[in-house]
Amino acid sequence: MKTEHLLRGLKVVSAAMLALLMSACAGVRMVDADVNSFPGQPAAVAGATYRFEQLPSQSKEPLYGEIQAMAEKALAETGLKRDDGAARYSVEVSMVSEQFLRQPLMLLGRHSRFVMPSDRLFWPHYYTGSLDSTVYRYQLRLVMRDTSTARVAYETAAEIEVPWSDSINMIPALLKAALRDYPMPPSGTRKVEVELGQARASQR
């Protein structure tokens, strides 16, 4: 009898959450990224020129070309200009991801929420049962070095944990978070709110 009640309760909760998620699919995914940034000595300057420095291991990464293209756009938004022939800085950018099971079931990421079309925020509740959920952790790191001295002028990293596996859609958000407050970021780990674009609940 208790088992039947539990199963019935789970069905009700699942149906309610499915309805909420479907209504949220027309909204925008928002997450808080954990960001750590470190200015070098001397610190990087705004409006400088740069070139990309690709590591040998990155030549076989299928997403590297797209990561670099997105990084160029994000760097331009900070005022940096790509100039391979007269670069003041070299830029290394890399991203790693991993997936793991988290218990209790986490329907949306650690800091995830939806912005509904009506501009209302929606935070799904957590179910504290015995089910597991797959969580994806994405980490992006960007390092700028002075081309004349090879010294690090700026280092920054951003990390998010979400239930979505669409890696390509995480890159712009990670770059935006990592480059927030360039070239003079606050010290310590900080939360940076970023937008992941249109929600696609089917991508899990």
Question: Does residue 118 lie within any of the structural domains?
Answer: yes
| pLDDT category of residue 4 using cuts at 50, 70 and 90 | low
Q: Mean pLDDT across the stretch 97-121?
A: 60
Q: Is the pLDDT of residue 128 over 70?
A: no
Question: Does residue 159 lie within any of the structural domains?
Answer: yes
Which two three-digit tokens encode residue 140?
Answer: 């992006």
Q: In the chain, pLDDT over 90 holds for what percent of residues? A: 59
Q: Is the pLDDT of residue 47 over 50?
A: yes
Any idea what DSSP says for residue 56? G
Q: Supply the pLDDT for residue 162.
A: 93
Burial class (CB in 10 A: 0-12, 13-18, 19+), 17: middle
Helix axes 64-77, 167-178, angle to 10 degrees: 30
Q: Mean pLDDT across the stretch 60-83?
A: 95
* Element holding 92 (H helix, E strand): strand 89-102
Q: What is the mean pLDDT of the chain?
A: 80
Question: Does residue 134 lie within any of the structural domains?
Answer: yes
Quote the pTM value.
0.73
CA-wise closest residue to 93 among 114, 117, 72, 123: 72
CB atoms within 10 A of CB 51: 16
Q: Mean pLDDT across the stretch 156-177?
A: 94
Structural domains counted in the chain: 1
Count each helix (H run) and each strand (E run) in the chain, helices first. 3, 9
CATH number at residue 84: 3.30.160.670
Q: Supply the pLDDT for residue 112.
A: 55
Question: Does residue 8 lie within any of the structural domains?
Answer: no
Query: Per residue in 139-158, is it b (16+ CB within 10 Å) or e — as a string?
Result: bbbbbbbbbeeeebbbbbbb
Q: Is the pLDDT of residue 116 over 60?
A: no
| pLDDT category of residue 122 using cuts at 50, 70 and 90 | very low
Backbone angles phi, psi at 173, to 5 degrees: -65, -40
What range does the domain containing 153 cover? 25-198
Question: Does residue 16 lie within any of the structural domains?
Answer: no
Question: Does residue 38 lie within any of the structural domains?
Answer: yes
